[in-house]
Amino acid sequence: MQALVIAAHGSHLNPDASDPTYAHADTIRETGAFDEVREAFWKEEPHFREVIRTLESDEVFVVPLFISEGYFTEQVIPRELRLDDWDPEKWESDGTSASQATLEAEDVGKTIHYCGPVGTHDAMTDVIVQRAETATGDSDVGEGVGLSVVGHGTDRNENSAKAIEYHSDRIAERDRFDEVKALFMDEEPEVDDVTDYFESDDIVVVPLFIADGYHTQEDIPEDMGLTEDYRLGWDVPSEVDGHRIWYTGAVGTEDLMADVVLERAADAGADIGDAREAVRELAASVAKPEPNAGAGAGD
């Protein structure tokens, strides 16, 4: 038997923080690729600490629903899962290339394949592009359009910015969008000045965050000047400095994220059959682009 655990942050205060985790877990449950699928959280239940013991499978694939390699993926999750022999070196990563490490969970004697975060997987690039399609309602979006991938960024963890730049570079190489630029909340170049970095009239802004919350629904829209007050919502697109900005919300809510989770597990050796195809079809069928003004903020 094989099990999948999706490890996410969760929240003590915001009941919606776990929604993407549940949604992607349910999509994967529907494929039947794993005998057991569990959500696990740092701030909700089941906690990382107790999730493995709820499984009957001997082989467990743990996929962190986090954007970058850093404090949570390198320290908190392995420690709380009791992966005693864990060392970040086992990922042999340059900051965005972690794949997996095989370890044993001390409390249950199960084999744990501890995967790199979804945010740095190559398949994430496709999710960002898909979000640009759903945000604009144009499945061919690209020509004449600029794309900005926005991340948190933090001086404390250089990998935080690396993940954002990694996907920006990969999208730029595809020559699909006229311009591609990585922007950040907490470091230069800042998302506040988004219009300074683009010549294109239309700019799609995709925040590389797992869940919608304070950053994606309050900070970023106000910082970019989409709205005076996030509670009033904003238009998609919104006019800012002569540009049209297409902004919805966290990329982590995109249906195609389930595919990234599956790929992480498959890279670590999970037998997922044709589950990826099923998920990709499902994501394509529900990705009927429908720009959602304000993306739920303020309503």
Q: Which residues bind other proteins (CB under 8 A)?
A: 11-15, 22, 26, 42-47, 49-51, 53-54, 56, 71, 75-76, 79, 107
Task: In angstroms, give the least distance from the CB of 265 to other proteins.
Answer: 20
Under a CB-based contact definition with an 8 Å cutoff, are residues 28 and 273 in contact? no
Nearest alpha carbon to residue 105 among 135, 77, 124:
77
CB nearer other proteins, residue 107 or residue 241? 107
Reduced to 3 states, what is the DSSP secondary structure of residue 276? helix
Q: Which uninterrupted H or E stretch holds 205?
A: strand 202-207
Task: In angstroms, give the least distance from the CB of 228 to other proteins.
Answer: 28
CB nearer other proteins, residue 50 or residue 299? 50
Task: In angstroms, give the least distance from the CB of 50 to other proteins.
Answer: 4
CB nearer other proteins, residue 47 or residue 174? 47
Task: In angstroms, give the least distance from the CB of 11 to other proteins.
Answer: 8
CB nearer other proteins, residue 12 or residue 288? 12
CB nearer other proteins, residue 51 or residue 262? 51
Strand 243-247 to strand 238-240: parallel, antiparallel, or no bridges (unpaired)?
antiparallel
Q: List Cβ<8 Å contacts ≥24 apart for 81-86.
A: 81/48, 81/49, 81/51, 81/52, 81/105, 81/112, 81/114, 82/49, 82/52, 82/106, 82/107, 83/112, 83/114, 86/114
Task: In angstroms, give the least distance from the CB of 276 to other proteins.
Answer: 22
Task: In angstroms, give the least distance from the CB of 114 to other proteins.
Answer: 18
Under a CB-based contact definition with an 8 Å cutoff, are residues 220 and 150 in contact? yes
Say which amino acid occupies 97: S
Burial (CB count within 10 angstroms: exposed 0-12, middle 13-18, buried 19+), residue 88:
middle
CB nearer other proteins, residue 43 or residue 276? 43
Residue with tokens 């701030």: 43
Report how far residue 109's alpha carbon sits from residue 215's, in angstroms, rounded to the nearest whole number. 39
Residue with tokens 């009927």: 288
CB nearer other proteins, residue 43 or residue 90? 43
Task: In angstroms, give the least distance from the CB of 88 to other proteins.
Answer: 14
